[in-house]
Structure 1
Amino acid sequence: MNEQMPSPGSPFIDEDDILVYGWIVDGGSGRADRAAAELGLPQERAAAALKRLASLGLVRSVRDAPDEVVVVDPDAVTAALTAPLRAAIRHQEEQLDLVHGKIDRLRDHFFAGRTGNRDFTVEVIPTMEEVRAALNRASAECQEEVVSSQPGGSGRVPEAMEEALGRDHALLSRNVRMRTLYHHTARFNGPSQAYVAAATALGAEYRTSHELFGRVIIYDKSLAFLPERTGSWGGVAVREPTIVGYLHDIFEQYWIRATPFSDAAQDGLEQVAKEIHQTIVALLAAGLKDESIARRLGMSLRTARRHIADIMEALGADSRFQAGVLAARARLTDPQQAGPGKE
């Protein structure tokens, strides 16, 4: 019967009440049995609706006719009905302001302790919640540019992307330039395609590469965030100018060589697939293991092994070593793409 219970102090008006109110407008009486029969409601529900309408002042009895009621203009009772709810909202807003004020005082102590006691040019942030808070604060304070390298291209969660799009919109609406690098594999992922299309329409820029140097987010060339090396959900904030500048220079080198993002329906995807295939061949020839190849190309281990199996079949190789030898002999490898040696 009720789609949603009302908040404390709010008027309780449900669908039955609206239905019975409309029935009275059309000539219905104040009798619950007649309302139930004509509206197809159980009598107890019709009686409850009539009682609520009367208690809220939305219907009133006709003098000398106790079984008859007439409707009251809803606008005439709106102020009285909504007064408790508006008072509750004001109270909640006052409580919210009070909490924000105390949080501001705590924040003052937090930053005073950081700047006064230790050098925080490199800061370990231990938990995911604190990392998200630090990223949100950096985004809010960013004035000119944010660049990021985001390895991986599959398994992206649509809900998380929708949340990220909201943060990106806030940055882009302030004319902050936003550039992001993905692995080529992101081009094959539906949620990634949708996210990039939406953010690009807002002014963001995206490119992809067969390999990336790691995960990093850099704000205004002055603050960089790196993942914590133990694989936890923590992170590291870097403010030391030389280190941040070095990371930004690496990003620029990869950005220049990267390919503008295009989705699976656009031209160039076949070339991207060939580049991924060629890179795997080069990494095989360099002696890298399946896990390292998958990590460097931002794909799952299962997908990497499927590519490797296809390559070995195409080369007629019986082993990974033989595949590498045959690929090098056929000049299918590219030392520049293979990067450093074994991992």
Structure 2
Amino acid sequence: MTETAIDTAGAESLDLSPAELALCLEIGAGHGRVSLQHPLLPRLLGLGVVIADQYAPGDLVLAKAEQVEARLREQTEHEAQAALRSMREIPKITHALQQVQRRIDPATTVPVQEVFVPGLQGATEAMARELDAVMFSVCSAQPGHRRPEVIAGSRRRDVPVMAERDFRWRMVYDVSERGNPALADYVVDMVRAGAEVRTTPDPFSRLILVDGRHAFFEDRGLIQDPRRGGVAVAEPRPGAWHCQSPGVVGYLGRTFEQLWERSTPWSGDEADPAHAITTPLQRSILWELEKGKDQTQVAAHFQTSRKRVQRALTDLREALGLKTLWQLGPWWSLSPERQIDHRPAPPPRFR
């Protein structure tokens, strides 16, 4: 006897009716052979509640509850994955139809190319709406210092979205933010959920890209052409531009890719002392430099060579993706790794 899988996705309920339960009881108790033409039998066979007796052809037996549960879960997961794949295909169909429609009547099918969303709250809400509908990818470039309260809001919004949805999220921060404890904790959660995070010492502008179709960026003010009566700089307005122009979004997407390629991965574990970037030696050197000593004085303090001290600092600079040793000072001043040593570590031994 061949079992027919029931469409669990289209079924209103998987509950068994009293009549179906009575039939299950009859089959399970072995009270005679049930007619294969019984009107309730197809659904029970489809659910796998009732199965063919492999030892008595033509007879039916009641399946174990655990087997029924495992089968239904597996089938439902397959259907959910198929539905998710279909959802991913919807933008492709929409895009193809838009291309056809624009050839017929461009004026009525082209969406608003760009709009300025005033105020930080308004811009945040506009970006949140697009993040809620993300299908494929998010690219975010966040320069400058991120305040704890801003990070807390991002954590509440971003971590659940990243954990529940299947898309790629790439983030770029200024390298100095590696010493921001609140951001480090946020990065740990986002990386665990599947995000990719990098840092760079290079200057860059704030940018959010969603699915390669929406771009959000800051208002940079207005500079009047000098040939038209001098230079007049208008102050940037709080808020963000929301742009859907394919050409502009594509250009900004390529700009982000170049920024991403120049950036250094941040694993997200640096906030954990067990996975510190710095070594005990490097932290000891940084503590001494913070007191105002130069590298020669630090080398004398540790009774080693200046070259060895410089090598330790260079290794740390390269690990952080910094360009100069001078940038280690600001990074160390904000680094959560300062908490690893509640006081300056004792001078390490050099062989």
Q: TM class, shorter-chain normalised? A: 0.3 to 0.5
TM-score by length of 1: 0.44
Structure having the higher helix fraction is 1
TM-score by length of 2: 0.43
